Amino acid sequence: MGFPVGYTELLLPKLFIHTLTLLGLIRKLISTFFSLLGLQDFIEPDNAWSDPPIRFPEFHSVSAVLIREILPLAKFSDLVDPPESCAVCLCEFESEDEIRRLTNCCHVFHKRCVDRWVGYEQKTCPLCRTPFISEDMQGDFNERLWAASGIPDFYDDYSHTNLGFEL
């Protein structure tokens, strides 16, 4: 059994096909006209998804930058008793990988994994939740954070004035 002779004409009427062809031709003429005038920026590209996505600059908080400065950086090959893999990305360590060994809990992660974790305002080990900044370093960290924020210290600005109470 075969298809009836007029079957394709029933599914896609000739008028519809001719209309689409005419619209395609008009689009091509307009595109050529705009290109000749130097206005091709006003026309959508044929493949809108082929352009690379616009990358917005990442926002880095002051605390994340300070934590990254404090956490030690080393090569994986320099470790004495290394773990097999990073607990964040679950990839095995390579000898040339940059790693961060956390000072409070001694867990080891890829530098990029911990830096990304810190970028999400996380201030604890991703594995055991021990704080990155030890209690004895917390005061110094807070002072550096306050100084980096650019906000003048209340006590420095108003200590010379007599407000009627002891500071």
Do 33 and 75 have their domain in common? no
- Joined tokens for residue 49: 């998804």
The confidence score (pLDDT) of residue 63 equals 81
Listed ranges 8-22, 31-45, 105-119; the one with the highest mean pLDDT: 105-119
Please check whether residues 90 and 122 belong to one and the same domain: yes
**Is 37 among the domain residues?**
yes
Residue 75 backbone phi and psi in degrees, to 5 = -90, 145
For position 59, what pLDDT does the model report?
58
163 domain-assigned: no
Instruction: Kindly report the average pLDDT of the chain as a whole number.
Output: 77
Question: Do residue 72 and residue 139 come from a single domain?
Answer: yes
Q: Compare 15 and 155 and report the one with higher pLDDT.
A: 15
Residue 53 covered by a domain: no
pLDDT of residue 98: 94
- Asked if residue 88 is part of any domain, the answer here is yes
Q: Are residues 30 and 106 in the same domain?
A: no
Q: What is the CA radius of gyration of the chain?
A: 32
CA distance 70 to 134: 11
Distance (Å, whole) CA 6 – CA 98: 70
Same structural domain for residues 82 and 135? yes
Q: Based on the fold, state whether residues 94 and 29 are members of the same structural domain.
A: no
In whole angstroms, give the CA distance from residue 13 to residue 144. Answer: 75
Helix/strand/coil for 98: strand
pLDDT given at position 163: 47
How many structural domains does the chain have? 2
Classify residue 31: in a domain, yes or no. yes
Percentage of the chain with pLDDT > 90? Answer: 25
pLDDT of residue 54: 53
Domain range for 117 is 62-147
Residues 74 and 22 occupy one common structural domain? no
List pLDDT tens digits, range 32-50: 887 787 776 666 555 444 4
Mean pLDDT across the stretch 100-110?
A: 90
Same domain for 37 and 69, yes or no, is: no
Examine the domain organization and report whether 80 and 120 are in the same domain: yes
Higher confidence at residue 65 or residue 58?
Answer: 65
Listed in sequence order, the residues at least 6 apart from 40 whose beta carbon sits closer than 8 Å to its beta carbon are 31, 34
Q: Which residues of 47-67 are buried (b: 16+ CB within 10 A; e: fewer)?
A: eeeeeeeeeeeeeeeebbebb
Average pLDDT over residues 89-104: 91
